Amino acid sequence: MVIWDFINSTVNKYMPNDEARANIALFVIKLGKNAANYAVHEGVKGIPGDISGFLNMLSETQKFYDYTSLFGNQAGDPITHIKYRVEEDLVLRKHKTTIMDEKSIYPFPINNGTVEISRTLREVPPSDYLFQIKLFSLLSKAKEKRFESSDFESGGYKWKLCLYPHGYEKEKGKGHISLYLAISEADPYPLGWEVNVKFELFVYYRIRDKYLTLQSLRHFHEFKREFGFAKLLSLDTFKDASNGYLIDDSCVFGAEVYVIKSTSKGECLSLKEETYDNSYSWEIKKFSEIKEERLFSEPFTIGKHKWKIVVYPKGHGSGKGNSLSVFLWLDNCGSLPTKRLGNWFVTIFLLKLACSRRLEFPRNYSITGDFWFCDLSEGWGLFDLISLHDLHDKPKGFVFLDSLVVEVQIHVMSDVKEFSSKMPALETRDVEEGPISKWHGSLSKLET
């Protein structure tokens, strides 16, 4: 993850106007049956085979997470959990990705720059396409510098692998095996077409029964239809049978292609300071005569939500029998949008036990903090706001004329808006300078 000091720095510009965006892309690997065999025979150049198959006011909050809605029909981790079928039985297989030695990392040029390509090893075979070549030594003697696989389909597009046995010299791949992914020209595309693709290319590492994997994210369009790796492996490394890539003059390449189709589905989480009509005071009369274990105030509205104050005169939880317990309760939890996972929103609030008696130096007991309210966490507060001994100590003035006053102030509330067309523009606004209440204690969840 990103270090907070780095992302919060105004120099790095990740949070203009105290706002930030976070995106996620998920891909589910479904193992397919696409494969091709490229056999080379004496006197024959090549015979291709058939295919067999937002956050804003971010600096104000103390918690850097949010529970977002479910999105997409399926979600999966293409690296750690792979689901595939074997004889109609669903098998969940875990595999560990191995990071290769730094000596195995080769740079290749893009736009006159140099990008380092990370190489990993994995056990699971490519899900979209396998391309086997037999008698590679004869292929390397051919005059042709480029060999193409048959077309295969992934993500609604047709693709093919392009192999340069002696390296793609235009991208300084001489002396290496060069492997590229190209969008097929078999189907016509409209003028101005473009497609964003995350793809992985593979070489079978036979002696360890694993696949050397290189991945990239590229923007394909009519003027650039092919991307890949000019320096996949050096020819010396590839041809040395002891390295396990070319054994019995045979090798296997593969591809996985994920077309990134934007659903433009997301949420905007904004934090708003409640500065108008943001407090409520509740006077509990005849406090000494109360027999109930729990008291609810009348519902009151602050922001877009209805609330109640909950008081346990004899304490609750760890404060039972020794303290006064006070909680802030979300009264309209049932009206939260059901399509949001957990229906979470954050609130920074102050619960205060006011001194009812007019003293020269009045003393208040209070708890300030922030927490996430939802359909599973409707109430938050303190089990031991004040001891019963101090509460009933007359000189301290909390219970005066048999009345107790409990107050709540809500300083900040979050709001979540869903969007489904395009990313909302970051709003430019002026933020008023002012202190935000600090944490003074430990809030507890009120179990119902």
Question: In terms of domains, do 311 and 203 share one?
Answer: no
Same domain, 200 and 74: yes
| Same domain? 232 vs 311 | no
Distance of CA 434 to the CA centre of its chain: 32
pLDDT tens for 93-113 read 333 333 333 333 333 333 334
User: Do residues 252 and 274 both lie within one domain?
Assistant: no
- Provide the residue range defining the domain that includes 320: 270-419+426-445
Dist. CA 217–CA 295, nearest whole Å: 59
Same domain, 46 and 193: yes
Percent pLDDT > 90 in the chain is 29
Considering only CA atoms, which of 317, 304, 318, 201 is closest in space to residue 254? 201
Say whether both 201 and 85 belong to one domain.
yes
| Cβ-based neighbour number of residue 251 at 10 Å | 22
Beta bridge pairs of residue 300: 307
- Residue 154: pLDDT band (50, 70, 90) is very high
In the listed set 206, 226, 260, which residue is the last one of a domain according to the structure? 260
What's the rounded mean pLDDT across residues 124-146? 88
Confidence of residue 390 (pLDDT cuts 50, 70, 90): confident
pLDDT digits (tens, 9 = 90+) for 260-303: 887 667 777 777 777 678 888 999 999 889 999 999 999 998 88
Q: How confident is the model at residue 345 (pLDDT cuts 50, 70, 90)?
A: low
Do 240 and 341 lie in one domain? The reply is: no
Whether 265 maps to a domain, the answer reads no
Q: Is residue 299 part of a domain?
A: yes
Distances 416 to 55, 273, 285, 318 between C-alpha atoms, Å: 9, 14, 38, 34
Q: For residue 397, is it within any domain?
A: yes
- Tell me how many degrees the CA angle 289-293-296 measures, rounded to the nearest 5: 90
pLDDT at 36: 57
Residues 130 and 36: beta-carbon distance below 8 Å: yes
Written as six digits, the tokens of 1 are 């993850």
Same domain, 288 and 383: yes
Report how far residue 66's alpha carbon sits from residue 55's, in angstroms, rounded to the nearest whole number: 9
Q: Are residues 256 and 326 in the same domain?
A: no
The SS3 of residue 112 is coil
Are 193 and 295 in the same domain? no
Final residue in a domain of this structure, among 230, 260, 290: 260
State the average pLDDT over residues 341-346. 51
What pLDDT is stored for residue 257 in this prediction?
Answer: 94
Helix (H, G, I), strand (E, B) or coil at 39: strand
Among 260, 294, 324, the domain boundary falls at 260
Write down the pLDDT at residue 358: 52
| Total structural domains within the chain | 2
Residue 80 has pLDDT above 50, yes or no: no
The answer to the question of residue 304 being in a domain is: yes
The rounded distance, in Å, linking the Cα atoms of 376 and 447 is: 9
**pTM of the complete model:** 0.48
- Is the domain of 256 the same as that of 276? no
With cut-offs at 50, 70 and 90, classify the pLDDT of residue 203: very high
| Cα distances (Å, whole numbers) of residue 293 to 290, 320, 329, 332 | 8, 10, 16, 23
- Per the domain annotation, does 369 fall within a domain? yes
Going by pLDDT thresholds of 50, 70 and 90, the confidence category of residue 374 is low
Q: Over the range 386-395, which residues count as b (16 or more CB within 10 Å of their CB) and which as e?
A: bebeebeeee
Instruction: Copy the structure tokens of residue 342.
Output: 């957990």
Q: What is the dihedral of CA 295, 299, 300, 303, to 10 degrees?
A: 110
User: Which CATH number covers residue 414?
Assistant: 2.60.210.10
Q: Given a cut of 90, is residue 199 above it in pLDDT?
A: yes
Q: 191: pLDDT confidence band, cut at 50, 70 and 90?
A: confident
Dihedral sign computed on CA atoms, order 85, 87, 92, 95: negative
Given a cut of 50, whether residue 83 has pLDDT beyond it is no
Q: Are residues 375 and 232 in the same domain?
A: no
